Structure 1
Amino acid sequence: MTDGEKMLKLAESRIGEKYVNVCVPKNNKNWHGPWDCAEFMSWLVYQVGGILYGCVDDNGNPATVEAYTGAWKSDSQKLGKRVPWRQAASTVGGILLRYPPGPGMMGHIVVCDGEGGTVEAMGTAYGVRRGKVSGRNWDTGVLLPNFTYGAAGGALDLAEPSQLYALGQPNMKASVIRDIQRALKELGFNPGPIDGEYNDLTVAAVAAFQATKGLIVDGQVGPQTAKRLKIEL
């Protein structure tokens, strides 16, 4: 069994467990949650490979060091190995990463089954569950250094990522941003002026809304958050 297959199998054994933004002891093989997405992935890496990866200090104490999608971004750049997201999606145990949109904010990370599916700690409303790669926004694929993987499968029928509304994202429609801002204001959140500008106040309001709904708290509006806001992207 390859290391990628071991990671996927171990991830599947945690399906149904709870999600909380918490530090997970990476060296505790009997840990059964709660999890957050980066802690879940770094725990899998430590259990399979005995290394810290995606942590704020990869030389730290595995019992107490925190994992973070921003650290995954940094490690994938410095230590490798970044691959196209479609390649990771078609590799058993391949990892897909969405970068944090800003300092102190959350991205997202999942492990792939090689057939277009994922296992991921998805948010407090969902816990650890199976998901799908298709139609979501990913910044890169990651294959871990010194891990073994099977050959990537054939090309998967994956939809291109949907429009994402986020700080600094290109090609956003001002009319949709105003819809986002109005929906947030009506729900009691403060997105700032209804001006069609996706600014820091709007990001903070989106993140606060996501937290109340048990979604991934990243301050970005994709399909799941839009559905909860009852708007069309």
Structure 2
Amino acid sequence: MSAELFPRPAARVAPGAVHLPGRLDAEAQRTLLAACREWARPPAGLRTVRMPQGGRMSVRQLSLGWHWYPYGYARTVVDGDGAPVKPFPGWLGRWAGAAAEAARAVDERVAERGDAATGSAGRPAGAAYAAYDAYAAYDTALVNFYDERARMGMHRDSDEHTDTAVVSFSLGDTCVFRFGTTAGRGRPWTDVELASGDVFVFGGPARRAYHGVPRTRPGTAPAWLGLRGRLNVTVRER
């Protein structure tokens, strides 16, 4: 789907974690951005997340399908305006499923299934479920907006009940995406630059790996997109 002059190859960053550069072409990026702008409108629109300890996330966020809040999911925006969460669109699930399959072609371990409570991938690659259940598994998404000051600390996606691979779409400014291990927030980690249109998929042994965004590169979004800042749409199965 990439229109880059010199396309960057897909790459395995860690066992079960795959970077798909340029996965979304210009038309797909415009489509996703237009949808994000609609989803951002109230009710249940873009909000600032307050953590239980009192801190506030520097990114602004909204949810689809299920509303994420620290540290759980609900059907309404329980830490915001209380409105019902916007529905998760089937087309976004199909995009995510297709990306997960593309990542699986690079590293079969993306599709391993294991113990969701511990994140251990207990089944061999040959037992991976086919075509991500025909894309039916995905039912929730988080949309994060980064302005030039926003960051995301090292964390892991551990509030879901399943271990289906996470699929993350990037729009706008390039970011440094830091991908670590399941052992903790510290080193070792790998820094990957995610540009507009890139997709990152992590599942199997990487499903509960710590990851974050230590910085973005303001002004690097493609001019034709018309976006100042960075949008990240992360698709999951709750």
Same fold (TM over 0.5): no
* TM tier, smaller: under 0.3
TM-score, normalised on structure 1?
0.25
TM-score, normalised on structure 2?
0.24
